[in-house]
Amino acid sequence: MASQPQVSQKKQQELQLQYSNFKNTLQQMAQKIGDIEQEAEEHKLVIETLDPLPRERKCFRMMNGVLVERSIEDVLPTLKTNSDGLKQVLAELLKQYKAKQADLDNWKKKNHIQVVQP
C-alpha cells in the first residue's frame, strides 16, 4: 500500500486549476508592477531633467494623444503629483502581491502541494 493517501483524479485537476489561477494572478500582478515601475522611472527622469531649467521655458507634453505646448512651471507640479501617485499605487500593488504570494504558500501547505519543476 502507498504511504501517502491517493488523491482522486478530479481533486487533482481542481488543485492544478487552483494552482494555475494563483500563478496567473501573480504573473499579471508582477507585470503590472513592472509597468508602473517603468512609468515611475520615466516620470523621475523627466522631473530631474526639467527641475534645473528656467520655469518660463516652454516644453511639450503629450495629453490624450495630443502634443501640447506648456511652460515648465505648468508641467512640473503635475508631473510631481503623477509621480507621487504612481509611487503610492506601486506600494499598494507590492503589498497585494506579497499577500497573494502568502495566500499561495498557505494554500500549498494546507493542500500538501509540492511543485516539481521540469
**Residue carrying the nine cell digits 504573473:** 27
Residue 48 domain-assigned? yes
Establish if 2 belongs to a structural domain: no
Rounded mean pLDDT, 17-27: 94
Structural domain boundaries, residue 66: 10-102
Total of domains in the chain: 1
Would you say residue 3 lies in a domain? Answer: no
Q: What nine digits make up the cell of 118?
A: 521540469
Q: Using CA atoms, how far apart are residues 32 and 35, in angstroms rounded to an integer?
A: 5
Give the tens place of pLDDT for each residue, 43-92. 999 999 999 999 999 999 988 999 999 999 999 999 999 999 999 999 99
| Euclidean distance between CA atoms 104 and 69, whole angstroms | 49
pLDDT computed for residue 7 by the predictor: 62
Q: Which pLDDT score, from 0 to 100, does residue 5 have? A: 53
Cell of 6: 491517493
